[in-house]
Amino acid sequence: MRGKLGLVIGLGAGYVLGTRAGRERYEQIKTQALKIWNTDPVQEQVGRAKKLATSSALALPRAAWTGAVGVVKAVNKQGTPGSKLDAALDATKDAAEDVKKATDPDVTKVADTK
């Protein structure tokens, strides 16, 4: 679906930029694009995209920071170098899963269509 949408947008942009019909045709295309942009379904998706950007902007750094702290704590524990390495690897895996969890639910909400 994204590929088709990208193709349509690309073709539209290419037509607008490459057309020789002049300013009048450009204004017609611009007016139609603004009409589509201001429809409720499009604005609903814009709102979802903004919500995703906001939530990801807050969730990802927090998850990454928490993961980094966990790795540092694992490395600073007492024990042999091998046990420290194992603890750091486990903490890194946990941190990667936390970052993935921070993004997955929001992405699926935006991708859902009614």
The two three-digit tokens of residue 59, written as one number = 């969730």
Q: Give, for all 114 residues of the chain, the pLDDT tens digit.
A: 566 777 888 888 777 777 666 777 778 888 998 999 899 988 898 888 888 777 666 667 777 778 888 888 887 878 788 887 888 888 888 888 877 777 665 555 544 544
d(CA 73, CA 96): 16
Count of beta carbons in the 10 Å neighbourhood of residue 67 = 19
Q: In the chain, where are the structural domains located?
A: 1-38, 40-114
pTM: predicted TM-score of the whole model, two decimal places: 0.38
Query: What are the CA-CA distances from residue 79 to residues 4, 67, 87 (Å)?
Result: 55, 21, 10
Q: In which element (H, E) is residue 43 found?
A: helix 40-76
* 3-state SS assignment for residue 16: helix
